[in-house]
């Protein structure tokens, strides 16, 4: 038995929307909390969200490289387009959640 036995893997294709939605809820609810432990959780959720989006983006880059080499079918291109749309959606959500509020005039 080793500590690596405690690793958790999440398939962002299959479960990405669920995990991003959970992280979004944590960030939204706790980022501005008066409780330090809730703020810490929100910061960690933001870090996980950001790291997951980075991995997602790296996968999309690799998929585009394979597509340029001609190794993609129309079904593959359809899946890639859906993945791009989801990635852009979640990037936008993270930006909305972490944007600094505009000061009132």
Sort 44 into a burial class: Cβ within 10 Å, 0-12 / 13-18 / 19+: middle
pLDDT of 102 > 60? The answer is no
In a domain, 42, yes or no: yes
Rounded Cα distance, 91 and 83, in Å: 12
Could you read off the pLDDT of 15-32 as tens digits, one per residue? 999 999 999 999 999 988
In a domain, 9, yes or no: no
In a domain, 4, yes or no: no
- Number of domains, the chain: 1
In a domain, 76, yes or no: yes
Please give the model's pTM, rounded to 2 decimal places: 0.84
Question: CA separation (Å) from 52 to 35, 46, 89, 93?
Answer: 26, 10, 13, 13
Q: What is the mean pLDDT of the chain?
A: 89
In a domain, 7, yes or no: no
In a domain, 101, yes or no: no
In a domain, 56, yes or no: yes
Q: What is the pLDDT at residue 76?
A: 83
Residue 104: band (very low, low, confident or very high) from pLDDT cuts 50, 70, 90: low
């Amino acid at each position: 038995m080793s500590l690596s036995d405690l690793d958790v893997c999440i398939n962002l294709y299959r479960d990405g929307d669920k995990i991003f939605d959970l992280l979004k809820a944590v960030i939204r609810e706790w980022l501005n909390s008066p409780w330090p432990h809730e703020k810490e959780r929100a910061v960690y959720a933001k870090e996980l969200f950001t790291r997951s989006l980075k991995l997602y983006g790296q996968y999309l880059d690799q998929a585009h490289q394979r597509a340029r080499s001609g190794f993609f079918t129309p079904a593959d291109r359809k899946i890639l387009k859906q993945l791009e749309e989801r990635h852009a959606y979640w990037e936008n959500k993270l930006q909305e959640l972490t944007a600094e509020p505009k000061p009132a005039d």
